[in-house]
Structure 1
């Protein structure tokens, strides 16, 4: 009997140690009624940059108030933070440009026109001091010198690029959505050096990396997270996630990957070691919260969404209409670990 009781105690302890109990802890109101895409955390200044239609809202994460609005970012998609250069690089999808602003004053430094069509995701690689803007319509990456702000090369990618990460040692990884691939870019040579299939993953969007285990986490439109060995492209694990994902974040301290699913959930995946992964829990968020950013300092997660009205009827001009956004309902969800452990 004592052995049975001891076993139950051990099982309960292990279960509790893995129970993270993430939940929406608050909502930060954001002014504006347009759509959204990526968010980015400035860890040094504790600011959150939120793409929002034709502007970027900046939220102070201490006061949890909007403190600035960066204008003239038409069709904004991505924001890359370069703390060592005191710059943020913002992709403007509707006028094919990259807006560069001061991280402290939020004032415009320069707006750089690029040849790439519809820049979307963007990455700053501190190792090479380069910025990679990924162009959805021209299937390539525009590379800027982050110090001079000059375009130095366009890298053809042979497919539609989505999110990207760096290994901080000279290699860049990017999801290719319409080819179900991850491509590896050499940040010094500025060329693609590897292409890996992530089957059975289909339509990969968000991408995250564990720098310690050298594992990539690619979330896909067919409700799968694909874990990939970043050294050789081998698929290590396939895990179920929610519907409508567009982002993933990795918490290196807790060894957790978070898939943000537009259906209104976050799928939390635990990395037990470099080859063992499991779904830990599903967190309820809000419909439309499909992109995600992690505050590495505080451990909180941020997702943008709004309330939705009805959809218009399909037409020739708009065969797949989206539901309308209810005015003045845009928010940033703050998702926190409520566990005391």
Structure 2
């Protein structure tokens, strides 16, 4: 993987590239906006959240979270940055959006991919490669507690939430992994006609 990440700024009306910005981080995932001129950008391999000026993309702060952060969301009602980390330290965390102070940290399932916030039921859900959904209850800005773990299917990690009723839609397909080669790499082959959409309703 390259030792840097490149962002492109486009004109929303024409699609014309306006600017190219290079960051000295190996992997950066999707940022979150506070709607007031700031972006919160996760740098996964470096375990930090960057605070950027949304117009210039200049760094204004850098917050260490101590794990491979890949998901961040800004929650306006609590002024918190909610996020989660993957790899060997799968973790949910909540940050003060002004200072970067960690106000909560909880374990989640292994192999994070999906991250949903149910604002009606005050829950956060992560979907994980190990065949689980981690459900977290939220009580105000700083109150977070594990509600439970829901079993899904091994490898079912891509998830979307229907915000009308809180249903979770998780996709998966059966697969076969080859034995590791000399470099320890495996090849995954998905089975024909095995694609499924798993649906989970909140209670």
Within 2, Cα distance between the matches of 1:320 and 1:256? 37
Which residue number corresponds to residue 198 of structure 2? Answer: 333
Measured at CA, do residues 164 and 293 of structure 1 come closer, stay the same or move farther in structure 2, by a change above 3 Å? farther
Measured at CA, do residues 239 and 156 of structure 1 come closer, stay the same or move farther in structure 2, by a change above 3 Å? same
More helix by share: 1
Q: How much has 1:305 moved relative to structure 2?
A: 1.5
Scaled by the length of structure 2, what TM-score is found?
Answer: 0.89
Counterparts of 1:99-138 in structure 2, within 5 Å, are 138=4
Partner residue of 2:12 out of 116, 141, 146: 146
Matched, 1:312 2:178: yes
Residue ranges of structure 2 left out of the alignment (5+ in a row): none
Scaled by the length of structure 1, what TM-score is found?
Answer: 0.55
Matched, 1:261 2:103: no
- Number of matched pairs: 200
Q: How much has 1:243 moved relative to structure 2?
A: 0.8
Within 1, Cα distance between the matches of 2:100 and 2:85? 16
Q: How much has 1:324 moved relative to structure 2?
A: 2.5
Residue ranges of structure 1 left out of the alignment (5+ in a row): 1-117, 119-135
Which residue number corresponds to residue 75 of structure 2? Answer: 210
Which residue number corresponds to residue 85 of structure 1? Answer: none
Within 2, Cα distance between the matches of 1:325 and 1:137? 31
Which residue number corresponds to residue 243 of structure 1? Answer: 110
Within 1, Cα distance between the matches of 2:98 and 2:129? 31
Counterparts of 1:154-233 in structure 2, within 5 Å, are 154-159=20-25, 160-199=27-66, 202-221=67-86, 222-233=89-100
Whether contact under 8 Å (1:207, 1:249) holds in the other structure is no
> Any idea what SS the aligned residue of 1:269 has?
strand
Which residue number corresponds to residue 11 of structure 1? Answer: none
Whether contact under 8 Å (2:3, 2:24) holds in the other structure is no
Q: How much has 1:281 moved relative to structure 2?
A: 1.5
Q: Deviations over 1:92-127 (max 9, x none)?
A: xxxxxxxxxxxxxxxxxxxxxxxxxx9xxxxxxxxx
Within 2, Cα distance between the matches of 1:224 and 1:294? 20
Q: How much has 1:165 moved relative to structure 2?
A: 1.7
Instruction: Look at both structures and tell me which one has the larger radius of gyration over its CA atoms.
Output: 1
Partner residue of 1:281 out of 119, 123, 148: 148
| Deviating 4+ runs (over 6 angstroms) | none
Measured at CA, do residues 330 and 217 of structure 1 come closer, stay the same or move farther in structure 2, by a change above 3 Å? same
Q: How much has 1:314 moved relative to structure 2?
A: 2.2
Q: How much has 1:296 moved relative to structure 2?
A: 1.8
Within 1, Cα distance between the matches of 2:73 and 2:153? 22
Q: Which has the higher contact order (CA 8 A, sep 6+)?
A: 1
